[in-house]
Amino acid sequence: MWQQTLITLRARPRGFHLVTEELLAGLPEIKACRVGLLHLWLQHTSASLTINENADPAVRRDFERFFNRLIPQGTDGYEHNDEGLDDLPAHFKASVLGCQISLPVTAGRLALGTWQGVYLGEHRDHGGARKVLATLHGEGA
């Protein structure tokens, strides 16, 4: 089976956000997959996808603090600031973290570990809704 769906994630403020359930809501076909892979491709250059802690929201806040220290906003010497001071730093953060992940699917569910979830890293102050192309490949139940 092959299934490809464009999922629009609601707009979020700058920071790291757990989006696992929103992604799954946009791809109900996953329940019919016995074994497979789900590839998620974020169609933006100023946001990112990654896997990490799904229980303690402090981890997501600490991610934001860490990446803001690693790639500060308002640093002199950058040319690309067409959309504001957060523009180029958002691109840097997106490149460090990446725009795609592949996840195993087992018995109609993501085979995530107990404490794992999918994060959207929103690196713009006002990034808006984000689009994720979800491609599911596997054997039906």
Instruction: Give me the pLDDT at residue 8, please.
Output: 98
Closest CA to 14 of 52, 68, 69: 68
- Helices 87-97, 57-70: axis angle to 10 degrees equals 120
What is the per-residue pLDDT across 128-138, written as a single tens digit (0 to 9) for each?
A: 999 999 999 99
Q: Contact 124/46 with Cβ under 8 angstroms? A: yes
User: What distances in angstroms separate CA 108 from CA 13, 37, 76, one per listed residue?
Assistant: 31, 11, 49
CA dist., res. 68 & res. 123, Å (int) = 9
Q: What pTM does this model have? A: 0.95
Give yes or no for residue 51 having a pLDDT over 90.
yes
Handedness of CA 116, 58, 91, 4 (dihedral sign): positive
Instruction: Give me the pLDDT at residue 53, please.
Output: 97
What is the per-residue pLDDT across 69-125, written as a single tens digit (0 to 9) for each?
A: 999 998 888 888 888 889 999 999 999 999 999 999 999 999 999 999 999 999 999
Assign domain 2-140 one CATH number from 3.40.50.1820, 3.40.50.20, 2.60.40.3950, 2.60.120.460. Answer: 2.60.120.460
Instruction: Give me the pLDDT at residue 81, please.
Output: 82
Question: For residue 32, is it left (φ>0), alpha (ψ between -120 and 50) or beta?
Answer: alpha
Give yes or no for residue 30 having a pLDDT over 90.
yes
Half-sphere exposure of 37 (CA within 13 A, CB side): 6
Domain ranges of the chain: 2-140
Instruction: Give me the pLDDT at residue 44, please.
Output: 98
